[in-house]
Structure 1
Amino acid sequence: MIPSWLIIGAVTFLVAFGSFFITPRDVKWFAQLTRPRWLVFEPLIPLIWTVIFVCGAASAYLVWQKNPGSLFTWLLMSCYLLLEIITVTYIPLMLRFRSLRIGEIIGSVGIILGVLLTLSVFPISRLAALLLVPYLIWSPVGTYTTEELIQLNPEDS
């Protein structure tokens, strides 16, 4: 039997990696947007999200280990998967529709789902909930940054 940590890690990797294939090739629109002066950490964003996805996968593994195969655990695994899918669709959908507002909506939905997932996981494993905190911190930063981009580029909202 394949270990659960390997399956969770592989699904996390495949969903994150799969987003590269659905990203529109033309990113000139996004590249030409005016950015806030304080956005000096933009080159670190892929690394930040990698750490967040690893923490999320570790959180999912801890939850799975507490009660493997139960209906509620499967529901939580679905929520982890949905949260990752929502997160990785931010760029492809925003680029496809050339709409910063879509990015802001996706980010807001991710924040809400992240909070709900963390609250659901907390009674099962405090460590698993703690591993979701990087998402809870960073996702609002990304959504706020998108709002700032809208303010600086109103014609692209």
Structure 2
Amino acid sequence: MIKSWMVIGGVAFLVAFASNFITPSERQWFKHLRRPRWLTFERAIPLIWTTIFISGAWSADIVWENNPGTNTTWLMMGLYLLLEVFTIAYTPVMLRFRSLRVGTIIGGTGFIICLLVTFAVLSVSVWAALLLMPYLLWSPIGTYTTWEMVKLNPQDA
């Protein structure tokens, strides 16, 4: 029997994989942007986001297992999917448009969506809501960093 965490993890992986089509010129554009001096933790960002995605999938699994298959639960799964799509869209959309402002807007929107998801799942499970805290803590840092990069790279805003 297929477990719910396998399906949730599989969907999360597929959404992440679908966004992985970034051209070398797009990568080069981002690589050459100036960064704030205080951005000393850039190498840790992939690990941070991996932790956030695992926590989010675990949160979704808790919500699903609490009341599987109901309309409300399906709606919440849709909210989790929307959150992941916005989160994953940050990099490819920002790079495609070569616009740090677009990245800032997507990052801020992701934070708002996560806040809404957190409040929605709080009534189902406190643990599911707590597992979204890493996103709520990190997302403003990433969004602020992108916003600061706008100031350092006005030609790429």
Same fold (TM over 0.5): yes
Indicate the SS of the match to 2:23.
Answer: coil
Do the aligned residues in 2 keep the contact of 1:122 with 1:129 (CA within 8 Å)? yes
**1:20 alignment partner, SS class:** coil
1:42 and 1:17 map into 2 onto residues whose CA distance is: 21
* Matching residue's letter, 2:23: P
- In 1, the alpha carbon distance for the partners of 2:73 and 2:140 equals 26
**CA distances 1:80-138 after superposition (whole Å, capped 9, x unpaired):** 01101111111101111110010011001101100000000011000000000000011
Could you list the runs of 4 or more consecutive aligned residues of structure 1 that deviate by over 2 angstroms after TM superposition? none
The share of aligned pairs that are identical, in percent, is: 59
Partner of residue 113, structure 2: 113
TM-score, scaled relative to structure 2 = 0.96
Partner of 2:33, secondary structure, is coil
| Cα shift at 1:17 | 2.5
The within-5 A match list for 1:17-56 is 17-21=17-21, 23-26=22-25, 27-56=27-56
Structure 2: how far apart are the matches of 1:132 and 1:52? 8
Matched-pair contact (CA < 8 Å) for 1:55–1:132 = yes
RMSD: 0.9
- Aligned residue for 2:153? 153
Task: Kindly provide the CA deviation profile for residues 16-37 of structure 1, in whole angstroms up to 9, marking residues without a partner as x.
Answer: 222213x233211111111001
Q: Normalising by the residue count of structure 1, what TM-score does the alignment of the two structures yield?
A: 0.96
Task: Assess if the C-alpha contact under 8 Å between 1:67 and 1:73 holds in 2.
Answer: yes
Report whether the alignment pairs 1:138 with 2:116: no
Answer yes or no: is the 8 Å Cα contact 1:24–1:92 preserved in 2: no
Provide Cα deviations, 1:58-99, integer angstroms capped at 9, x if missing partner: 000000011100001001001101101111111101111110
Aligned length: 156
For structure 2, list consecutive stretches of 5 or more residues without a partner in the other structure: none
The gaps in structure 1 that reach 5 residues or longer are: none
1:73 is matched with 73
The residue that corresponds to 2:90 in the other structure is 90
Q: Residue type of the partner of 1:81?
A: L
